[in-house]
Amino acid sequence: MSALDPESIERALRAGRVEPFVVRAERAEGVAARRYARELAARAFSLADPGSVAIALRARARALGIEEAAIGACEETPPPHAVRVPLFDASAGDALVRMLWIEFDPAGGGGDRPALGARASAAFADALAMAAERAAPPRAMERFRLVAARPRALEAVAIDGESLGAAALVSAVSLWSERSTRSGIAVTGALRSGVIARVGAIPAKVRAAREAGCDVIVVPAEQEDEARGAGAGIEVIAVRTVEALLDATLVAVRARRDPERAVREARALFAEGWRGYRWPAIDERLARVAGTLPDARPDLQIETLSRLAAARRHLGDPEGSLRVLESARVIAESQADAVPDGPLTALEQQRAMTELKLFRFRAAAQAAQRAITIARRARLRGEHIKALGCAGLVEMGRRRDDAARACFDEALALTLRHAPEDAARSRVYLMEALGRLGRDAEARAMWRAAMHEVAEDEPGARGKKESWVRTGWGGALVALARWSEAREVLDVPAVHEALHEHPLPGLRARRHLGLALARGDDRDARERGLHLLASSTLAHGRALEPGLRSLAHVNVLVEAEVRVASARLDEDATARTRAALAALPTWGDAPRWLGAARGRVERALAKSSPDALGRALRELVARCEAI
């Protein structure tokens, strides 16, 4: 693969190939070449289908220092109804194999991913109808869509034609009948009146399946000879009927689902979302569970949809999150007598966080208040504390620090009465609000109490909690302009680990420490602080995509603010600032909340007016707190 051949690089990435990029990284010489090769390899890993990269190859990548979040992306277990599908890439004149499956779209309107042409869309609809004759769909057929494991890899591939019909049918029957697909099989074929009909480019598709590591390819019976002629090294199974297709691709035994167990397992997976950035896999699991829960369990449906909405928000799709929450609200209202208060308050909490992400502060505050009311009425102490925390975050987002303090104060009081050993999170939020209000002594008391709680924990459990506490107190000290003390609190190993390992609180810790260092007298420390801020968009790699990337760019705006104040905004920093402005959110009411301040920054940059730029950056950074 030539370094001067970007087209071949893009073709390999679309096909999910990883090994050529690892080999390239192993052979690269020179700092710049190695960095570029590692970045390409990380991109290849992040676009590879789950379960498609050998353990030995992953070990070689780790030895090269390739980004862990990217390697981890391909280590997830594929869904049990996933199918590997040969697709013809007309732009490359060749075929590639990609993992696809059908997915429940609770709100509707999400669209297929990847986008399908008219013939492919018709073939998919026919496949669902034919599948429904063999396995009853648990929800209306129009609520299911076709998705790729890595939609971004196929953005440049025109998918149109009938050849994905057989694969879509297999995935649908697998999901609806609870029979898993067999591993290592690629499927191609059109559907016509219950017969598996011929498709184009069979030799290319057979070769692509072999190169993708498939053991078997299922093809239409009338193209058996053509497939075998190109099929050295891969088993060819030729099928004529839908029944033969399903026998070849699905295991015989049903995996009986227990709704309670399915939700419990999804709940546990959700709790691991930020460890290695697992939100895409969590999103798939929650959608799968939501699409199979019985109508008689609206409580489980609402809980699962609420978590699915949170996953969509973390994936950078707050508008999609809101659509999912709307579907949950419809269930809650239509079955009000059958839904307990726990799922209802959790639903309103997630609505508050999604409305906040959309910069719709009034709607967010109303949802948070409904969550508080439900939890208080039902005496759900844990949910009441979380609902108060949501309300406080909403108030901080709209710069109402005293209202936020009141929410966090009440949450802490409840926690101290009922779970005093687990009050650190409430104290962290409260100390930040107090710091922003200038109430030093009260914030300091929260800091001491929180660190006492950390000291009482088992040594192995202290690390992340300590980084959260120090980040919160560091934020309060920065708000109080106590730069020296902020450096002492934040420039320690527990926070250093968060800077690189955990996007949250890592990005906020990076902002507070970077700002505290940049405000000091030591020149080397100042440069280190500016570097911490400037490198925010690179520090966590693909763990930022796409939900946290705008938060990382806010740190770059903070860097620009510091540089303007000290007359050090050079050409590179200006370019980063422009990139950060372009990366700010555009969803929901973000343009109305951020637009005027962003416009003032852009105009001041164009006019090279330091005073105006400094004022505009301060205002924009303050408004970005809502992110």
Measure the CA dihedral 561/562/563/566, to 10°: 120
Tell me the C-alpha distance between 196 and 246, whole Å: 11
What SS3 state is found at 144? strand
Query: Averaged over 524-551, what is the pLDDT?
Result: 87
Structure tokens at 587: 């969803």
Tell me the C-alpha distance between 597 and 180, whole Å: 53
Give the H/E segment covering residue 89. Answer: strand 83-89
Query: Averaged over 192-208, what is the pLDDT?
Result: 95
Best CA proximity match to 240, nearest among 218, 266, 267: 218
- pLDDT per residue as tens digits for the range 92-147: 788 999 999 999 999 877 777 888 999 999 999 999 999 999 999 989 998 999 99
Query: Averaged over 45-58, what is the pLDDT?
Result: 94
- pLDDT per residue as tens digits for the range 394-437: 999 989 999 999 999 999 999 999 888 889 989 999 999 999 99
Burial of 217 (0-12, 13-18, 19+ CB in 10 A): buried
Tell me the C-alpha distance between 565 and 559, whole Å: 10
pLDDT of residue 68: 85
pLDDT of residue 497: 85
Best CA proximity match to 40, nearest among 62, 20, 69: 20
Q: How confident is the model at residue 2 (pLDDT cuts 50, 70, 90)?
A: very low
Query: Averaged over 553-562, what is the pLDDT?
Result: 96
Tell me the C-alpha distance between 238 and 219, whole Å: 5
What strands lie across the sheet with 144-148, from one edge to the other? Answer: 144-148, 94-104, 83-89, 185-187, 216-220, 235-239
Q: How confident is the model at residue 625 (pLDDT cuts 50, 70, 90)?
A: confident
Domain 83-249, what fold? Answer: Ribosomal Protein S5; domain 2 (3.30.230)
Give the least confident one: 111-120, 122-131, 203-212, 287-296: 111-120
Query: Averaged over 470-477, what is the pLDDT?
Result: 96
Strand pairing category for 190-192 and 195-197: antiparallel
- pLDDT per residue as tens digits for the range 317-332: 999 999 999 999 999 9
Query: Averaged over 513-523, what is the pLDDT?
Result: 94
Q: How confident is the model at residue 155 (pLDDT cuts 50, 70, 90)?
A: confident
**Please, which residues bridge with residue 84 across strands?**
99, 186
Best CA proximity match to 360, nearest among 388, 412, 331, 322: 322
Distances (CA, A) of 75 to 54, 56, 503: 9, 12, 20
Query: Averaged over 525-553, what is the pLDDT?
Result: 88
Structure tokens at 558: 């903070």
| Residue 287, C-beta contacts closer than 8 angstroms, at least 6 positions apart | 103, 104, 105, 106, 308
Per-residue pLDDT at 464 exceeds 90: no
**Please, which residues bridge with residue 100 across strands?**
83, 148
Burial of 482 (0-12, 13-18, 19+ CB in 10 A): middle
Q: Is the distance from CB of 42 to CB of 541 less than 8 angstroms? A: yes
CA dihedral over 213, 157, 279, 21, signed as positive or negative: positive
Distances (CA, A) of 590 to 398, 553, 613: 12, 15, 21
Distances (CA, A) of 525 to 484, 573, 588: 12, 18, 39
**Please, which residues bridge with residue 87 across strands?**
96
Q: Is the distance from CB of 355 to CB of 337 less than 8 angstroms? A: no
Query: Averaged over 340-361, what is the pLDDT?
Result: 97
Q: How confident is the model at residue 3 (pLDDT cuts 50, 70, 90)?
A: low
Tell me the C-alpha distance between 529 and 514, whole Å: 4
pLDDT above 70: percentage of residues in the chain:
99
Give the least confident one: 25-29, 228-232, 573-577: 228-232
The reply to whether omega before 505 is within 30° of 0 (cis) is yes
Residue 81 DSSP class: T
Q: How confident is the model at residue 572 (pLDDT cuts 50, 70, 90)?
A: very high
Tell me the C-alpha distance between 304 and 288, whole Å: 10
The domain spans of the chain are 6-73, 83-249
End-to-end CA gap in the chain:
41
Give the DSSP per-residue string, 8-50.
HHHHHHHTT--HHHHHHHHH--SHHHHHHHHHHHHHHHHHSPT
Q: Is the distance from CB of 372 to CB of 394 less than 8 angstroms? A: no
